[in-house]
């Protein structure tokens, strides 16, 4: 996705931006699916389709402060022009520099996603004395994309677990993650061949991660067998 961004907004536009952002940050009301242009005047994002009739919508945003810097982290999407349900979802991070906001991150998160996905507020996560911004895309569980904020924003990758048995698979149903100052963990539900979609029988795989450089590496794995009545 190509994002068009002006680093030199006129004073009148900047004043409007300050007012709107102040309202955004102080309001507790839901702002799901608001037009980008109504939330951030002067910010122009161009999606895949580059059509003047295609609007961009902000589903979730947060104000983030780290090391004396101010950011706006937002999740936005562009509807497919030929489908009422499909959309292209992206993450963006804007940093305040003087009297303007500059683009630091703009990445496609999910291309061609249905409307059933929940796009939840990005949040600040501090681990190993590092500040990360975490974006969330959820459906029966959440998937996270993380970015280091200092000294410059950059992607944090997560090591993939490759120890499943030949008859096992992740279900993507009800997976949960826990974040703390030492690292994070994710509990994955497992299915076996022949399981119905309602009743995975493989138990739970708890994967624990620690931050090493720009990568969360697996530190340990714990398995929990499924309860007998769920088999």
Q: How far apart are CA 118 and CA 30, in angstroms?
A: 14
Angle in degrees, CA 176, 177, 179, rounded to 5: 155
The mean pLDDT of 41-60, rounded to a whole number, is 68
Cα separation, 124 vs 103, in Å, equals 18
DSSP tag of 173: S
Task: Provide the domain limits for residue 94.
Answer: 1-119
Task: Please state, for a pLDDT cut of 70, what percent of the chain lies above it.
Answer: 76
The pLDDT score that the predictor gives to residue 228 is 60
Residue 192, in any domain of the structure:
no
Considering its fold, how many domains does the chain have in total? 1
CB atoms within 10 A of CB 127: 19
Q: What does each C-alpha distance from 87 to 23, 50, 73, 109, 221 come to in angstroms?
A: 27, 14, 19, 11, 35
Residue 56 domain-assigned (yes or no): yes
149 close to 73: Cβ distance less than 8 angstroms? no
> 226, 200 in Cβ contact below 8 A?
yes
| In-domain check, residue 64 | yes
pLDDT of residue 200: 86
The token pair at 70 is 């101010």
Determine phi and psi for 68, rounding to 5 degrees. 75, 5
* Inside any domain, residue 103: yes
Q: Is residue 161 part of a domain?
A: no
The average pLDDT across 183-201 equals: 89
Tell me what percent of the residues of the chain surpass a pLDDT of 90: 39
CA neighbours within 13 Å on the CB side: how many for 99?
A: 9
Poorest-confidence range of 43-52, 92-101, 132-141? 43-52
Which residue matches tokens 């979802």?
89
Report the pLDDT value the prediction gives residue 18, as an integer from 0 to 100. Answer: 36
Q: What is the pLDDT of residue 81?
A: 73
Return d(Cα 104, Cα 154) in angstroms, integer.
9
Q: Kindly tell me if the per-residue pLDDT of 173 is higher than 90.
A: no
Q: What is the mean pLDDT of residues 113-140?
A: 88
Over residues 160-169, the mean pLDDT reads: 91
Whether 139 maps to a domain, the answer reads: no
Res. 12: pLDDT tops 80: no
The neighbouring-strand residues paired with 130 are 127
**Residue 92 resides in a domain:** yes
The predicted structure's pLDDT at residue 122: 96
Lowest mean pLDDT among 101-115, 141-155, 195-209, 215-229: 101-115
pTM over 0.85: no
Assigned domain for 195 exists: no
């Amino acid at each position: 996705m190509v994002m068009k961004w002006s680093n030199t907004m006129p004073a009148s536009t900047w004043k409007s931006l300050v007012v709107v952002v102040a309202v955004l940050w102080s309001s507790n009301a839901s702002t799901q699916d608001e037009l980008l242009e109504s939330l951030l005047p002067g910010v122009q994002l161009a999606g895949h389709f580059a059509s003047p009739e295609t609007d961009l919508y902000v589903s979730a945003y947060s104000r983030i402060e780290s090391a004396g810097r101010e950011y706006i982290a937002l999740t936005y999407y562009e509807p497919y022009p030929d489908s009422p349900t499909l959309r292209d979802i992206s993450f963006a991070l804007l940093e305040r520099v003087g009297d303007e906001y500059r683009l630091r991150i703009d990445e496609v998160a999910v291309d061609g996603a249905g409307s059933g996905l929940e796009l939840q507020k990005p949040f600040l996560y501090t681990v190993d004395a590092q500040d990360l911004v975490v974006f969330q895309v959820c459906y029966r569980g959440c998937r996270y994309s993380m970015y280091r904020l200092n000294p410059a924003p950059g992607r944090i990758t997560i090591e993939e677990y490759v120890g499943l048995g030949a008859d096992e698979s992740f279900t993507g149903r009800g997976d949960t993650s826990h974040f703390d100052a030492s690292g994070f963990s994710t509990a994955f539900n497992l299915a076996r061949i022949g399981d119905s979609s309602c009743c995975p029988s493989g138990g739970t795989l708890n994967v624990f991660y620690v931050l090493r450089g720009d990568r969360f590496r697996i530190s340990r794995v714990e398995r929990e067998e499924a309860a007998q009545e769920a088999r």
